[in-house]
Each structure stands twice: as structure tokens, then as C-alpha cells.
Structure 1
Amino acid sequence: MVGVTSPPDRVRPVNRHWRFTGWLLAAVWLFFLNIPFVTALHQPELWRRVLGLASVIAFGVAYVLIFEWARARRQRHLPIPVGRARALLALLLAIGLVGIPGTGGDWLTTLVFVAAAAVFLLPPVESLVVVALAAATPPVTSRLVPGWEAESTVVFAVLLASFAMFGVSRLAQRNAELQAAQQEIRRLAVAEERARTARDLHDILGHSLTVVAVKAELAGRLLELDPARAATEIADVERLAREALADVRGTVGAYRGVDLASELAGARSALAAAGIVAELPETVPELPTDRDELFGWTVREGVTNAVRHSGARRCVIRVDPAAVEVRDDGRGPAGESAGAGHGLVGLRERAARLDATVTVARAPGGRGFLLRVTVPDTNGRDRG
């Protein structure tokens, strides 16, 4: 009467092993049907003997099949149809009653299995009713049917088996809930990894392709006016395309390292290609690795917005140990509210890991775009 749920991370051969174990544990309890079986075996009349033996065997087979059907549905997190459960219990009871001519009063032993099956199959209230009726049947029938003795052991067995099956069913339910929770955790982990990869690819390619587009446009304008300068810009486009490809490969393979110094150097090149005057810090302060990476992503996002959207003529980047700021004198991302865009969403996600604050606003004076990331100090207050 004990069900076994296989762990979700088992391989197929182990699952077959546990499935066999479940069948075995369901069948071993049928040993208690030996009482009506022996009674039928010693019937003097052949037809009684055959009917009794056939009913006991049919009852045992039906019980095991019903139990395994219900256990399989629980393992797959499927509900047990109440109507079908009632019909199956009625079938068990009918098989037990059919065998009365061959098993006599010992057919009452089958009520133990009917009660246990009811606990496993039916809702709590209905199963409680079935258990009460099964426990009350032996003393009642002993008074109504001559020759049938009041079997107190059957009453005790009904109650004990029902209580045990209640524990087994609750355990099976908890195991199913645990498996569902584990599957959900795995699904969320995969979704988070996909979101991280998509965010990194957007941030990497968005910046690189923006610079490529600006340099290609500049090369097209210079093609007739200054072929040598146009060739230089085309060479830069080729270099940037190769770097973007390397970045994508690095992102697919693992987390791509970003540092502030490299991003400032890239910002100088991108702003110059876009014809934007750049005002950048000469030196970079010593920063923890996680903060250095966050500030690098901030510079990348701010410069990408300045080159792609703003129409700016000047871009200023300020860095100190607690904050980084990118400010231009353009019009900001066209048609986007503050904080919109995949890049800024990804930046906020990265900043949240360090409890940093991301500020997106108009620059002082009402013209221009301001992006600032501020990291709290050790006392939890924002600095800068």
C-alpha cells in the first residue's frame, strides 16, 4: 500500500527500477488476502471453490492496477477524476461481494483494501465516509447474517490501513509538489540565463553596430572628398566588426569581461567618429572589479545613446570612486521616456546587484541627456 515517487533527475533505467518497486510494494500487501483465499480453497463444492478463488485473484489484480494507475497520475501531477475513482471503488466492492459464496464471512477482509483505496483516490470527506462504512460493516453483518462472527480484527485493520494510506497519500502529494517546485526552479534558471545572454548581446552589439554605422556613413561622405580618410574609416569598420564578432563569441561561451578603462578608450573613438567632442577623464580611479565592470557598462550605454539618438555636439564623462556620469548636449533618445530601452533595463539589472542607483534625466539647463550610476557607501547612503 506504499507508493514510491521517482526523483525527477533519475535516468531512465533507475525510473524503471522504481516503477518495479512501486508494483512490488503495492502487491506485497495482498498477502492479507490469504484468509479468504484459504477459505475458498477448502470449500467442498467445486463451484464455490472456483468462484471464491477467482474472486480473490480478480480482486488482488484489480487493486494493484487501480493503485498503480492512481500513483502514475500523481507522479505526472495529474488530478484523479472523482467519478472514475468512485466507479473503481464500486468495482472492487462488487468483486468482493461476488465471492461471498466461496469466501463466506472472510470476504470482509477485502474491505481493508477498499477503505485504503478510498483514502488514496477520493477527496477527504468522501474517503472518510467510505472508511466509516467499511469499519461498521463487520459488526453489523455479524448481527444480520447467521454464522458470521464479529471480526474485531477486520475493524482494526480497516482503521490502521486507512491511517497508513492517509500518510502515504500526503507523502506522495508532498513529493509531487517538491518535484513541481524543482522543475519550476530549473525553468526559471534557464529563463534567467537566456535573459542574461540576450541582455549582454544587446549591450555588446548595440554599441558596436552603432559605431560601425556611424563610421560607414562617414566613409561614404568622404569617399570622393578624402579617399585616404575614407579608407581609414573603412579599416576601422572592419576592425570593429571583428571585435563585435569576438565579443559575441565570448558572450556565448561565458560572461564577457567589461572594464572602465577599455570602455573609455572605445568611447573616445566612437565619439570622434560621430563628430562629437569628447571630454573624458585622464585617469581612472582604482575600483573593485564588480564596480569597475558596472561603470564600464554605464559608459558604454551612455555613449551609445549619445551617438545613436541625441544629435549631440559634446559629451562629458565624469568618474569618481562612487559614481560615473555620462552627459551630452543633445536631445536624448527620441520617442523614449526616461529609463526606456533594453540597454537601460539591462544596466538597471546590473546596478541592482550592487544596490546602485541609476539616474536617467535631462541634463542641467533642460537640454541634453544625463545618465548617472551611483554606488552607496558602506553606510548604505548614496554618494555623489
Structure 2
Amino acid sequence: MGVTSEGRASDPPAQIGRRGPLFACIWLFFLIDPLLQAWSRRDTVAGVVGMVAVVAFAAVYMTLWLGARAQRWRPVANPSLRWSLGYLAALVALGTVVVACVGESGLACTVYVAVGCVMSFPFRVAAVTTLALVVGTIALGAVEDWGSQIGTAFSIMAASLAVFGLRALISRNVDLLEAQSENARLAVDNERTRFARDLHDILGHSLTVITVKAELAQKLLDVDTERARAELVDLERLSRDALVDVRRAVEGYREITLPAELVRARAALRAAEISAEVPGSADQVPTELRELFAWTVREGVTNVIRHSRASHCEVRLTPTSAEVRDDGTATPSPTGHGSGLAGLRERAADVGATVVTTHLSPGFVLRVVRA
């Protein structure tokens, strides 16, 4: 219908999407009178031409509604001038044939021409066209001595106003749905960018260390077998940890990981305008302590941001401990059983570690350590 679009937006609300053509089809009953008039003259050329013209008029009129529905009502929101002119020209031509063949009853076509104008042209153009149809209908009735056409003129005005309201509603819905579609696309793009960035930050250092250790082990094979074996054991551990991080990242961070928490801690502290010292990797932390230390970093950094009023925060990791230290003036407190510091103590106890909190002047230290 002369309107194309890139991307795909959802349909307008179902009642408009499905019932729009039905709404238009129901009002075709006004064409029954000219059709019956033509049928009564079926033994004449004018009668046959009139019947064909009425049916063709109805078919052309419905193309607007059916085509707009097929293209998710975008032609209504952004009509093509070229298509609109052709569409209205076809309606006017067929309507003229109907009037010429059946007389006064054919003026019912003007109502549909007015509706087509309102659906296809900008408001100002449609208003002028509709007014011209009203004047023309009244004038034609007087010239042909068909009597007052005030009723037809009123029908034109009433139908135009009703359809204008419908078009305004459709246009708003189309704009809203296209905006929603654009927001959804931007959200997906942002999520992809975030995922790529986080995956790079989580795995970049680990993969670099794996490469270096593999090269070192290869060089040590002929020089120091025991050290080479130790490097290979460490290499296997790092590879397994990296694989776990990849799987959890792909799953959408449904499970907590230490590399991911380090990345998030750095970003969260920066967003809170707190200067941060956060390790770039967690390679030295044993596999069995990584989840506990991840919870430690999350809980500690969360408390720093929410409660401490700190200007600086430092995260420290060793093979046996994780520590979050700040220079704030407020003291974080446990948030209850199963969460906060209380929940962290339960997790630490499960792996034989302890939670130690220390108040400084100023500052606060959260430390989890396994002897």
C-alpha cells in the first residue's frame, strides 16, 4: 500500500486489529439501496453497469481496511500520498458511475468517499475534502431535483467524525507500539553489549594466565618436571574455573561467580562515586572458596554503598581470605537470618570459614577467612 517499514512491531490492540475490517464491512449495508436500485433495472445496460459498479466500489473501499490490517495499521498512521490519491480517485470514479446509473440512491457512496479521505489524508486535507463532499452532495441534489440531501450530508459529517476518532486512536497505538519495539531493540542491544563486556572482563585475565602457564609448563618439561607438573595442575584448575564462569555467564548470571562479582563491584562503586581498589582476577582463590568469597564481595560492597558513606573501598583476596574495607563513618548491620551478614556467616560455616568484622576510626572491615 505504498508504506514499508523496517523491523517488526506488534499489532495494535486486538479489538482494533481484528475488528477494524469488520467495523468497515458492517457499514457497507448503506450500499444495499443503490444495489437494489440497480437490480430493479437489471434488464438495462445502466442496471448491469450499476450493479457491477456498486460491488466494485465496495471492494475498493475495503482494500483500505484490509490492507491497513495486513500492514499492522502503519498506512493509517503514515499514509502514502501517492497511494491515497489513487485510492480516492478509484472511489470517486466508481461512485460517479453508480450515481449516473441508479440516481439519487447512489449518493450513499459519498459517505464512503468521505471515510476514505479521513483515513487516507492528513486532518486538514480530509476536513476540506469532507466539507466539499457535503456541499457537493447538497448542490447535486438540488440540481437533479432529488430533494433535500441534508440527511446524506449529516451522514457524511457523522461518519467522518467517528472515523477520525478511530484513526486517531489507531495512530496513537501504532506510535506507542513502535516506540515499545524500539525500546525493546535498544534493551537487547544494551544487554548484548553488557554481556560481551562482562564476559571479556570475567575471562580475559583468566585466559591470559592459562596461556602463560601452558607456555611455562611446556618449557619446564625438560628442565624441572615437578614444577611443570605443578603448573599443569594449576592450569587444569584455572581451565575448569574458567569453564564454570562461561557456563554461568551464558545462563544469564543465575548463579553467583567471583569474577562476575569483582566486575560488578567495580562498576557499582564507580556508579556510587566511591573510589575502588578491586583485584583484576581471582586466579589465586581455590575453587571451593570462590562462591563464598563472591558472596563476601557482594555483601561487603553492597553494605559500603548503602550504609557506609565511604569515599574509598578496597577489596582484597588471598588463597584463604576475602576482605572488603572502607573508610566510611557509618556501620553496616546484619539484615537478618538468611541474608546480609547473618546469611554470610552460615555460608562461611558450611566450608569451615569464619566471618570477622572490625570497626575502624573511620572505616569498617568485613573479612572472611578459612584457617
Same fold (TM over 0.5): yes
Please give the range of the TM-score, normalised by the shorter of the 2 chains: 0.5 to 0.7
Partners of 1:69 and 1:284 lie apart in 2 by 57
Amino acid at match of 1:112: V
Amino acid at match of 1:198: A
Q: Provide the residue aligned with 2:203 in structure 1.
A: 205
Q: Provide the residue aligned with 1:320 in structure 2.
A: 325
Alignment of 1:86 onto 2:92:
no
Partners of 1:173 and 1:237 lie apart in 2 by 61
The structure-2 alpha-carbon separation of the partners of 1:287 and 1:164, relative to structure 1 and needing over 3 Å to count, comes to same
Determine if contact 1:112/1:158 at 8 Å carries over to the other structure. Answer: yes
Partners of 2:133 and 2:175 lie apart in 1 by 31
The offset of 1:132, in angstroms, is: 0.9
Partners of 1:73 and 1:239 lie apart in 2 by 56
> Which residues of structure 1 form unaligned runs of 5+?
1-6, 271-282, 304-316, 324-381
Alignment of 1:118 onto 2:117:
yes
Q: 1:48 aligns with which of 46, 49, 55?
A: 46
The offset of 1:203, in angstroms, is: 1.8
CA displacement, residues 316-371 of structure 1 (integer Å, 9 cap, x when unaligned): x9841468xxxxxxxxxxxxxxxxxxxxxxxxxxxxxxxxxxxxxxxxxxxxxxxx
CA displacement, residues 179-231 of structure 1 (integer Å, 9 cap, x when unaligned): 21222232233223322322232122112112223333443454444321122
Amino acid at match of 1:219: A
**TM-score (norm. length: structure 2):** 0.65
Determine if contact 1:73/1:80 at 8 Å carries over to the other structure. Answer: no
Amino acid at match of 1:204: I
Amino acid at match of 2:325: D
The structure-2 alpha-carbon separation of the partners of 1:9 and 1:116, relative to structure 1 and needing over 3 Å to count, comes to closer
Amino acid at match of 1:53: M
Identity %, equivalent residues: 35
Determine if contact 1:37/1:56 at 8 Å carries over to the other structure. Answer: yes
Amino acid at match of 1:246: V
For these two proteins, the number of residue pairs brought into alignment is 287
Partners of 2:87 and 2:125 lie apart in 1 by 14
The structure-2 alpha-carbon separation of the partners of 1:164 and 1:195, relative to structure 1 and needing over 3 Å to count, comes to same
Q: Provide the residue aligned with 2:55 in structure 1.
A: 57
Q: Provide the residue aligned with 2:268 in structure 1.
A: none
Determine if contact 2:301/2:324 at 8 Å carries over to the other structure. Answer: no
The structure-2 alpha-carbon separation of the partners of 1:223 and 1:9, relative to structure 1 and needing over 3 Å to count, comes to farther
Partners of 1:171 and 1:220 lie apart in 2 by 71
Matched ranges for 1:97-116 at <5 A: 97-116=96-115
Matched ranges for 1:1-384 at <5 A: 8=10, 21-43=19-41, 46-73=44-71, 75-76=73-74, 79-145=78-144, 147-255=145-253, 256-259=255-258, 267=282, 269=284, 289=299, 291=301, 319-321=324-326
Amino acid at match of 1:123: P
Amino acid at match of 2:10: P
Partners of 1:148 and 1:47 lie apart in 2 by 22
Q: RMSD of aligned C-alpha atoms?
A: 4.1
The offset of 1:150, in angstroms, is: 1.9
Amino acid at match of 2:117: A
CA displacement, residues 138-174 of structure 1 (integer Å, 9 cap, x when unaligned): 22123322x2212111110111111111111111111
Determine if contact 1:285/1:320 at 8 Å carries over to the other structure. Answer: no
The offset of 1:54, in angstroms, is: 2.2
> Which residues of structure 2 form unaligned runs of 5+?
1-8, 263-278, 286-292, 306-313, 329-362, 366-371
Determine if contact 2:81/2:121 at 8 Å carries over to the other structure. Answer: yes
SS in 2 for 1:320: strand
The offset of 1:87, in angstroms, is: 1.7
SS in 2 for 1:269: coil
Structure 1 stretch displaced more, 72-81 or 175-184:
72-81
CA displacement, residues 119-138 of structure 1 (integer Å, 9 cap, x when unaligned): 10112222122101111112
**TM-score (norm. length: structure 1):** 0.63
